[in-house]
Structures are given as C-alpha cells and as structure tokens.
C-alpha cells in the first residue's frame, strides 16, 4: 500500500510539472491582455531577455549593413561599430515592464518609435498611403500571446518544444510561418516559470534594424 501511494504521488507530481508551464502561459497571457504590468514583470527575467534582444538587434543591424553595396568598407565598419554600441540602449528601452506587456499584449511595442502608428493606420508619417501589401505585412505581426481559452492553450501546446528538463519554447501566433512568429522561451527557476528569451519575427527585427542604423526601406 505504501508503494502504491508513493507511485501515485510521483504520477501526480509529474502531471503537475507537465501542466505547470501551460498554467504559467495562461497566467502570463491573462496578465498581458489585462495590461497588468506588475504581474507580467513578476514572470519575466529582464536580464536574460535584454541579452537575447540585444543579440538579435545587433545581428540584424550588422547583416543589413553588410548587404549595402553603396557603402565603402570604412563606412560599413563605422556603421557596424555604431550599431553594436547603440543596440544596448535601444533594447534597454524595449525591455521595460511596460514595453514587454505591449509586446505580449498585441505583438507590437507601441511605446517605442518603431512605426507602430503605421501598423494601425496603414499610413506613413508624411501622410502618404502605404501599399496594401506593406500595411498588411505589418498588421499580420500585431498578434500577441493568447492563451486564455482552452483552444488557444492547445494551439500553444502543439507548438511547444522542450528545452531540457526546465525549459520550453512556444511559438505564436500558431497560424503563421515560423519566420513570422514570436518564439517565447520559458525556464523553470525554483517553483516559477519565467520568460528568459523572446525571438522576434522578421518584421519587428527589421524595425529595430532601422532604428539602429537608420537604413531606408526598400
């Protein structure tokens, strides 16, 4: 009887562990949708998230500079050095409790000057109408982390990829191509799952690149 009770307890513990990241996703999603900034902040490791976004922003900027054939080698080097030095303060502005809540809420950091108004209106700052294709491309990425319903949680479950015993990556929105999705990594620290990394979709990485190196759009 004692062995049976111990075995049952182990099964229950394993089941609780298996469900725990999805409970964390549910709570994170609800907090973001409610714009509960303190609750979101409790579930994010801002140090590792800042490092993750800084790597992405710098890599995107360097790649964009390297592709510019109209620049001389010294100009490329100068812009590359500037992009690396500017990445940290730009990303630091992005990785605040308020900005992270914006990202998780609808997939776009409205508090930063990355052209969010264009995504909502489909117009440039000069008043010129963007093409329907370009405006649609931006709006497609304005989808946040949604896990408040069983259907949404199941979609996140299907996209989940384990990362060892204490890590998991979920990709959203589930109906987009992988390059157009956010990839959110959670890691178990103590008894709590926290966001440690967030891989951005290509559209948002491009906006960060433009903010870093001021490259004109093509």
**Model confidence pLDDT, tens digit, residues 78-92:** 877 877 776 777 788
pTM across the whole model = 0.75
Could you give the CA distance from residue 9 to residue 82 in angstroms, rounded to a whole number? 57
Q: What does the pLDDT profile of the chain (218 residues) look like in tens digits?
A: 677 777 777 787 778 778 888 888 888 988 998 999 999 999 999 999 999 988 888 887 787 777 778 888 888 788 778 777 767 777 888 889 998 998 888 888 777 766 543 443 333 344 444 434 433 444 444 578 887 677 877 887 888 888 888 899 988 888 888 888 899 999 998 889 999 999 988 888 888 777 766 654 44
Between the CA atoms of 28, 91, 172 and 185, what dihedral angle is there, to the nearest 10 degrees?
-60
Burial 2-37 (b: 16+ CB within 10 A, else e): eeeeeeeeeeeeeeeeeebbbebbbbbbbbbbeeeb
85 closest CA partner among 205, 213, 214, 215: 213
């Amino acid at each position: 009887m004692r062995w049976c009770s111990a075995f049952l307890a182990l099964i229950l513990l394993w089941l609780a562990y298996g469900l725990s990241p999805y409970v964390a996703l549910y709570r994170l999603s609800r907090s973001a949708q409610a714009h509960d900034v303190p609750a979101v902040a409790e579930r994010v490791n801002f140090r590792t998230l800042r490092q993750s976004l800084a790597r992405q922003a710098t890599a995107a900027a360097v790649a964009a500079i390297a592709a510019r054939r109209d620049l001389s080698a010294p100009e490329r080097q100068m812009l590359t050095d500037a992009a690396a030095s500017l990445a940290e303060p730009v990303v630091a502005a992005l990785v605040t409790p308020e900005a992270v809540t914006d990202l998780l809420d609808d997939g776009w950091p409205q508090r930063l000057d990355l052209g969010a108004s264009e995504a909502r209106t489909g117009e440039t700052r000069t008043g010129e109408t963007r093409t329907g294709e370009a405006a649609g491309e931006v709006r497609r990425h304005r989808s946040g982390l949604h896990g408040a319903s069983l259907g949404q949680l199941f979609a996140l479950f299907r996209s989940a990829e384990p990362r060892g015993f204490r890590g998991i990556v979920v990709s959203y929105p589930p109906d987009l191509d992988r390059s157009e999705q956010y990839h959110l990594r959670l890691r178990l620290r103590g008894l709590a799952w926290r966001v440690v990394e967030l891989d951005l979709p290509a559209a948002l990485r491009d906006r960060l690149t433009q903010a870093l190196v001021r490259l004109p759009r093509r």
